Structure 1
Amino acid sequence: MTPLYYAISAVLVGWHNVFGEIFGPASGIAWVLSIIGLTLVIRAALIPLFVKQIKSSRNMQLIQPKVKELQKKYGHDRERLAQETMKLYKDSGTNPFASCLPILLQMPIFLALFRLIDQAVKNPGDPKGFMTVTLNEQFRDATFLGAKISDTFLGTDDTSVRLLAAFLVIAMTATTFLTQRQLMSKNMPADALTGPYAQQQKLLLYVLPVVFAVGGIAFPVGVLFYWTTSNLWTMGQQFYVIRNNPAPGTPAFAAKQERVKAKALRKGHVVDAEASQESLDTATGTVEPPAPRVQPKRQTKAQRQAKKKPPQGH
């Protein structure tokens, strides 16, 4: 964890130097904004992974009809079914575990931040990474809305801490649920709502929020700010992708088609609206593009003259 302590504390201290100049280095708002800044830096760095996750998730949705065919064909042979399913994933460039990667990669960062706060509270004289004794003491004592950001819901009887922690736990749980629900209700075709992949998504939909709600009461307020901000980023990022690049055959795709039509009609170009619709359908694979025009073969002068020469009578 030592490299992570240095990386996380470097970003955290960097933001704190900025906000400390504005609000005061010992102020709670400076530390809260520093945690939010840390979250934004981490999530920006994970954008390429998020794009890969979206592509893999879309492929998983689109190959569900083929997965069902394999289940019907090899349902009696579980080993052969597993082999053929993995072959289908490989051929389509799909990773069934890609949807979990952003969460898995964030967990070490989450734990490193948790340990930095815990160290500041329990042993401020032994700082980790780029934190100093003075920064640890400021971090430990910083208050926001009357609550110390190093306290937890279970670790104090302070009403202000419990109210803020409870609000953040609810916000963290709700944003986790809504993010997953957004994906399932807007960007999954009807065929993908049944089968193993759908069951996996439904499991994540209900299990993850419960896990975060139960664990959240033991997290410091600062960590709750981190995770809630990360969830809000995910919601916004996912909304943008679903709205602008939806999977074919989904409610989001139909909504985008309607927006394209309405935009063209508002400009008074009915023909353009139909053309835009055809372009959108072709680009997303809803209809096949027209076959390329086949050019006639070039002929020699003798061949052209032979065609023009009238047939001789008997």
Structure 2
Amino acid sequence: MVGFHKAFTAIGMPAASGWTWALSIVGLVIVLRILLIPLFVKQIKSSRRMQLIQPEIQKIQKKYKGKKDAESRQKMTEETMELYKKTGTNPFSSCMPILLQSPFFFALFRVLDRLKDIGHGTHHPIGVMTRSLAAQAESSTLFGVKLSSAFLHPGDSPVGATRTLCIALIIIMSVTVFTTQHQLMRKNMPASALDNPLAKQQKYIMYIMPVFFAISGVNFPIGVLLYWVTTNLWTMGQQFYTIRRMPAPGSEAERALEERRKAKGKPITKLSIPGLHSHDDEAADTSAVELAKSKTPPGSPGLVTADGGTAGKSGGQRVQPKRNKKRKR
């Protein structure tokens, strides 16, 4: 954040302006989210894998349904973990971007919450945020409101302007997080997955997160609210791009992508996981065809395959039927 402040000051922006510090916070968020893109890609792949193995997990749960003894629960857990291991799926990897972003959020909250104390010398400087920079950032204003002011703690800022700006930022935060979850459930989840626990969890998040932002946002300084607005906007745009280019299997977004690829004459590929399905069915099908071939008499048309060919050996010629002579008494 201090680095962006120096860069904006170097190009002529006022050092003590609230807009300079606000853009510095935005720059901090953008750099942080760019660094988290590799983890976001892993999160997407893990989410796709979790969606693809849901039928297999449901089979395991159905297998042990109604069995409440400890041995059955242990076997169900072991089979589920074996499925995760076989398919290379990590159910906890989707939480990594949020967990890695949390230390930066709490660090920024701590800095902005203690700008006044740092500037007045009642608290030690934090990192490169010296006392002079802290005093400058604390005195800077955005629409007449200090970046360290909050809805419940306006400080020296005008109460009306502070609360108006806070409410506006909280509304933007709530709308962006609701829109992100809504487009995820509406376009990027297959119909079969809307009844599983993961879909219900996403639905709860869609309604709970705006309430969480509304309740907790009244305690956040303006600078922290700017942080959350920026990261929510980034998340919404990033997810919109992901749903359009990397949709979930069986979802409405995948069908829309296939339509676009068909219109452009591009090949359509389906996402699959090595090791998800056993080869027992394929082996059984192959054995059935081979058995039919071995039992087909020479010269007979043979089995008709899916591509219109024959599985038996016919020699390429049509065999004429022979008339059986009746025995005379």
TM score, norm. by length of structure 1: 0.78
**Amino acid of the residue matched to residue 69 of structure 1?**
K
Distance across 2 between alignment mates of 1:249 and 1:179: 20
The residue matched to 2:170 in structure 1 has which SS?
Answer: helix
Q: State whether residues 71 and 81 of structure 1, in contact with CA within 8 Å, keep that contact through their aligned partners in structure 2.
A: yes
Greater C-alpha radius of gyration: 2
User: Runs (4+) of structure 1 moved beyond 4 Å?
Assistant: none
Q: How does 1:67-86 map to 2 (within 5 A)?
A: 67-77=57-67, 79=73, 80-86=75-81
- After TM superposition, the structure 1 = structure 2 runs for residues 33-48 of structure 1, keeping only pairs within 5 Å, are 33-48=23-38
State whether structure 2 residue 98 is matched by structure 1 residue 103. yes
Output one character per residue of 1:250-283: Cα deviation in whole Å (capped at 9) or x when no partner: 1111111122233x3xxxxxxxx3xx3xx21x35
Count of aligned pairs: 260
Aligned match of 1:133 = 131
Cα separation, 2, equivalents of 1:91 and 1:202: 29
Q: Which amino acid aligns with 2:107?
A: A
Identical-residue share of aligned pairs (%): 53
2:325 maps to which residue? none
Q: Give the equivalent residue in structure 2 for 1:26.
A: 16
Q: Check 1:259–1:194 CA distance in 2 against 1; reply closer, same or farther (3 A cut).
A: same
Hey, what's the Cα distance between the residues in 2 that align with 1:89 and 1:185?
Answer: 27
Classify the secondary structure of the residue corresponding to 1:246: coil
Residue type at the aligned position of 1:14:
G
Q: Which residue of 2 aligns with 1:62?
A: 52
| Whole-Å separation in 1 of the counterparts to 2:133 and 2:94 | 37
User: Counterpart in 2 of 1:174?
Assistant: 175
Alignment of 1:252-263 (within 5 A): 252-262=253-263
Match of 1:120 in 2: 115
Matched, 1:14 2:3: yes
1:292 corresponding residue in structure 2:
none
Distance in 2, Cα, partners of 1:214 & 1:230: 18
Larger proportion of helix:
1
Deviation of 1:114 after TM superposition, in Å, equals 0.7
Q: List aligned pairs for 1:1-314, cutoff 5 A.
A: 12-21=1-10, 22-77=12-67, 79=73, 80-124=75-119, 125=121, 126-156=124-154, 158-262=159-263, 264=264, 273=265, 276=266, 279-280=267-268, 282-284=269-271
Structure 2 SS opposite 1:217 = helix
Shift of 1:216: 0.9
Contact kept? 2:48, 2:249, Cα under 8 Å: no
Question: What SS class does the counterpart of residue 250 from structure 2 fall into?
Answer: coil
Could you tell me how far apart the structure 2 residues matched to 1:236 and 1:108 are? Answer: 23
What CA distance in whole angstroms lies between the structure 1 residues aligned with 2:203 and 2:130? 45
Is contact 2:25–2:227 with CA below 8 Å preserved after alignment? Answer: yes
* Partner amino acid, structure 2, of 1:57: S
Aligned CA distance change for structure 1 residues 207 and 90 (closer, same or farther; 3 Å):
farther
TM-score computed with the length of structure 2 as normaliser: 0.75
- Residue 13 of structure 2 aligns with an amino acid whose one-letter code is F
SS of aligned partner of 2:106: helix
Contact 2:26 2:227 in 1 (8 A): yes
**How far 1:98 moved relative to its partner?**
2.3
Q: 1:268-311 deviations in whole A, cap 9, x for unaligned?
A: xxxxx3xx3xx21x3545xxxxxxxxxxxxxxxxxxxxxxxxxx
SS of 2:8's equivalent? Answer: helix
Cα deviations by residue, 1:55-98 (Å, 9 ceiling, x for unpaired): 11111111111122112111223513333223222222222222
Shift of residue 163, structure 1, vs aligned partner: 0.8
Q: Return the alpha-carbon distance in structure 2 between the equivalents of residues 121 and 92 of structure 1.
A: 52
Q: Identify if the C-alpha distance between structure 1 residues 98 and 205 changes in structure 2 by more than 3 Å, giving closer, same or farther.
A: farther
Secondary structure of 1:183 counterpart: helix
How large is the Cα RMSD of the aligned pairs?
A: 1.6
Displacement of 1:144: 0.8
**Which stretches in structure 1 are left out of the alignment for 5+ residues?**
1-11, 265-272, 286-314
- Given that 2:118 and 2:135 are in contact with CA atoms closer than 8 Å, whether structure 1 keeps it comes out as no
